[in-house]
Amino acid sequence: MSKDLQNLGSVEIPLSEGIEWAKKYRDAPKETEEGKGKVNGYLIPLATLKLVLEQDIDAVRAYKGINNAGEQILMFVGTKLDPETGIYRDVFFPGTGVEAKSNDGSVVYDATRPCPPNGDPESPM
């Protein structure tokens, strides 16, 4: 694992911060996604995936955001299928699903790094 990924700290961020990052991404000018600032991929630490997959979930949803360093990132949220509606509902841990509040200790998972600059220069991708 690269030193950059080793020094990320916790991959859990408070739900309130995740909400802020997602809003920042949605409100960002379209140029952020095109041309010079375009992100082609994301480096995702194994710790992030393990924490999400250890939950009692049916699927995972990835949300785009802009973190406090101005980087485009992905945030991962576990989901459970609502059999009555067929909708996969976001589940925030340690909260208990969609009723989770942004200040109840619920978390989403981050620590992704955008590519570029964190890509493999030898990769055909």
Tens digits of residue pLDDT in 30-45: 765 655 567 778 888 8
Give pLDDT tens digits for 77-116.
Answer: 888 889 999 898 888 765 444 455 555 667 777 778 788 7
- CA 60, CA 31: separation in Å to the nearest integer? 28
- The pLDDT value given to residue 101: 54
pTM for this structure?
A: 0.70
Q: What is the pLDDT of residue 3?
A: 43
**Cα(22)–Cα(26) distance, integer angstroms:** 6
Higher-confidence residue: 96 or 14? 14
